[in-house]
Homo-oligomer: A and B are copies of this chain.
Amino acid sequence: MMRSKIPWLLLAYACCWSTGFCGRVVVWPTDASHWINVKVLLQELVLRGHEVTVLVPSSNLLIDYQDTSSPFTFEVLQVPFSQKTLDALMEDFLNFWLNEVSNAFPWEVMWRMKKDLEVFTNMSKQTCDTLVTNSQLIAKLQQAKFDVLIADPLSIGGELVAEILGIPFVYSFRFSDGNVVERLCGGLPSPPSYVPASTSGLTHHMSFMERLQNFLIYLYTDLFFLKVWRDELDEYYSNVLGRPTTLCETIGKAEIWLIRTYWDFEFPRPFLPNFEFVGGLHCQPAKPLPKEMEEFVQSSGEHGIVVFSLGSMVYNLSDEKSNVIAKALSQLPQKVLWRYKGKKPETLGSNTRIYDWIPQNDLLGHPSAKAFITHGGTNGLYEAIYHGIPMVGIPMFADQHDNIAHVVAKGAAVHVDFNTLKTQDLVDALNTVIYNSTYKENALKLSKIQHDQPVKPLDRAVFWIEFVMRHKGAKHLRPASHHLTWYQYHSLDVLAFLFTCVAITVFILVKCCLCCCRRCGRIAKRKKE
């Protein structure tokens, strides 16, 4: 069958005709799993009659701009780094976090994180440069008269493009390190006493030492990012916009922040009216499996199946690691479907089948699904939550440790350490989540919360994007805190003033008392004399 845009366009025009409102959306995407998530949102926008144009770097990981059946229009930005360079960088990144991190000293890990951030920011800046220095392209985009820009603040530049085009923008976001972007630029209040900093692996119930740790993480990320932004990006943003500004000020102009979690996964925390928690927007009921796969699943009988994936980035493992895992899986009575592109492990059992790709959502939604072994990416976790499947988490890098900490705290997962992983650890963890019924019960509880919402997350996300298009923004949701300095926000000037008043009053009172005492003393002395 020829792959074509035609079915998408027909659906879109039909919808556009029926609703009477068709907008133009331009997208500044973030690659990898972020793209997988936002693509679902963009597809829905197309289905509702909107035109979607994606500004895509010529070298990227998962955004297939040559796919002629894609419902999106792609505007390719000819970036100065090649696909080969990008792939090599990713391989180096994965190699460190999968194989080298366990032997590294803490300061080496810290240095590596800083380096990764610099490399990533630099690539985003280069991508941004490709656009802002291309006046022809800017003119073309301006002529297209877009209604809204959708960006992900993890890849800087989207907000800058929106400013240049003079259009409102909406973020689709998971989080930043220590929530620094949401807090400092978005005004999101996050009391360190019960709102754990993202990537900290902490929960909302913290001991004194954990609260101290959380406080210091907030402080560290604030100082670290403020320095990085000041050194790297504030001047860049000012130069491009031709007026003094900062990265944070520009980010703060976002009309709506669509956060890719919900209260099933997220700990309850304060938020603002322009923050919508739309976690699980990509989830949907399971579709039938391919025939061969369905037969394999059915052959599991009452034992059921275990679904195993380490996500869209990790294709292979070291021989040692893959054998440890395969041996553990071989000891299960369940059938296992493992998404893996590496060399077939020697210890692979007859109950385990390896696939280049698996229909993960359909497998997790299959009645035979008993457990999900996951690296802890948000997309996969949400598919497991949606279908109520308990998890074994093997986090490796980025937000994965933190994500797994959340589902462990909610009682729906067991965590195993990738670096020290032994065969028995994985067997024990799987047996626990499969045979200790509380894990299944807790996973079903989370699933109920996910399903029992007034409006589905995807519909909420689309609603707010369409709202911004209809009303040219959502200024009525913007908190006044954006107009305050940090010391005004925390009422430090008010406290200083009150403290000064109290100090002056006390000083005057003490002086008066001393004066009275001295006078009384003198009178008494005179009387005595």
Contact = CB atoms under 8 A, between A and B. Distances in A.
Interface of A: 189, 191-194, 204-205, 208, 211-212, 215, 263-264, 267-274, 277, 448-449, 452, 454-455, 459-460, 463-464, 467, 470-471, 476-481, 483-484, 488-491, 493-494, 497-498
Contact of A270 (B211, B270, B488, B494): B270
Given A205-B480, A208-B497, A268-B480, 7 more contacts: A205-B483, A212-B494, A264-B476, A269-B273, A270-B270, A273-B277, A448-B471
Nearest to A488: B193
A490 B273 CA distance: 23
Copy count, this protein chain:
2
Contact of A491 (B215, B454, B494): B215
Nearest to A449: B476
B481 A194 contact: yes
Contacts of A277: 273
A224 B516 CA distance: 34
A241 B419 CA distance: 52
Contact of A194 (B267, B271, B484): B484
Contact of A455 (B189, B264, B455, B484): B455
Contact of A477 (B205, B263, B477): B263
A268 B273 contact: yes
A189 B208 CA distance: 21
Interface centre among A270, A464, A478, A497 (most CB of B within 10 A): A270
18 contacts: A191-B490, A192-B491, A193-B491, A194-B483, A208-B493, A211-B493, A212-B497, A215-B491, A215-B498, A264-B476, A267-B480, A268-B274, A270-B270, A271-B271, A273-B277, A454-B455, A454-B464, A455-B455
Nearest to A410: B476
A270 B272 contact: yes
Contacts of A489: 191, 193-194
A479 B269 contact: yes
Top 10 A-B pairs, shortest CB-CB distance: A204-B480, A194-B480, A268-B479, A454-B463, A270-B270, A189-B270, A454-B455, A215-B494, A194-B481, A268-B273
A481 to B, nearest CB: 5
Contacts of A488: 193, 211
Contact of A273 (B271, B454, B494): B271
A208 B452 CA distance: 44
A222 to B, nearest CB: 14
A290 to B, nearest CB: 36
Contacts of A211: 488, 491, 493-494
Contact of A476 (B193, B268, B481, B483): B268
Given A205-B480, A268-B274, A476-B268, A491 B191 contact: yes
A189 B189 contact: yes
A402 to B, nearest CB: 17
A452 B479 contact: no
A288 to B, nearest CB: 28
A242 B348 CA distance: 62
Contacts of A484: 193-194
Contact of A193 (B271, B274, B481): B481
Given A273-B263, A489-B191, A452 B471 contact: yes
A198 B270 CA distance: 19
A253 to B, nearest CB: 14
Nearest to A478: B268
Contacts of A191: 189, 481, 489-491
A460 B455 CA distance: 10
Nearest to A206: B480
Contacts of A212: 494, 497-498
Nearest to A216: B498
Contacts of A460: 454
Contacts of A449: 476
A493 B484 CA distance: 27
Nearest to A274: B268
A358 B430 CA distance: 68
A204 B497 CA distance: 21
A368 to B, nearest CB: 27
A264 B489 CA distance: 23
Contacts of A478: 268
Nearest to A203: B480
A490 B215 CA distance: 11
Contacts of A272: 268-271
Contacts of A479: 194, 204, 268-270
A476 B477 CA distance: 25
Nearest to A215: B494
Contacts of A459: 454
Contacts of A463: 454
